[in-house]
């Protein structure tokens, strides 16, 4: 009877060791280390949260870069409008040149 109990305990220990070796993790279930598992789960959750925060920050940077590009293009358009208005206001231009400036 005692031999059977010892054999069962040894078999259980062997099974646990094989499970740890196969998974590569020290804690495979709460019975291995309940406090360690809880700490591991909390850290995993924090790591996942940091990953989400990084993706959100990158999305924000992309939005800012897109807005910056749009503002740059608006500035270019306004500058071109200013140049054309100054050209058309110049009294030395022909009516054809003024018409082309207004069309552009």
pLDDT higher than threshold 70 for residue 17: yes
pLDDT bin (cut points 50, 70, 90) of residue 43 is very high
Rounded to the nearest 10 degrees, how much is the dihedral formed by the CA atoms of 74, 75, 80, 81?
70
pTM (2 decimals)?
Answer: 0.56
């Amino acid at each position: 009877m005692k031999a059977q109990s010892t054999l069962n305990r040894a078999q259980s220990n062997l099974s646990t060791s094989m499970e740890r070796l196969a998974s590569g993790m020290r804690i495979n279930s709460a019975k291995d280390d309940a406090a360690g598992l809880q700490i591991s789960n909390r850290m995993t959750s924090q790591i996942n949260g940091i990953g989400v925060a990084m993706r959100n920050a990158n999305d924000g940077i992309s939005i800012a870069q897109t807005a910056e590009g749009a503002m740059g293009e608006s500035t270019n358009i306004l500058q071109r409008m200013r140049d054309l208005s100054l050209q058309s206001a110049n009294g030395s231009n022909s009516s054809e040149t003024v018409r082309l400036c207004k069309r552009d």
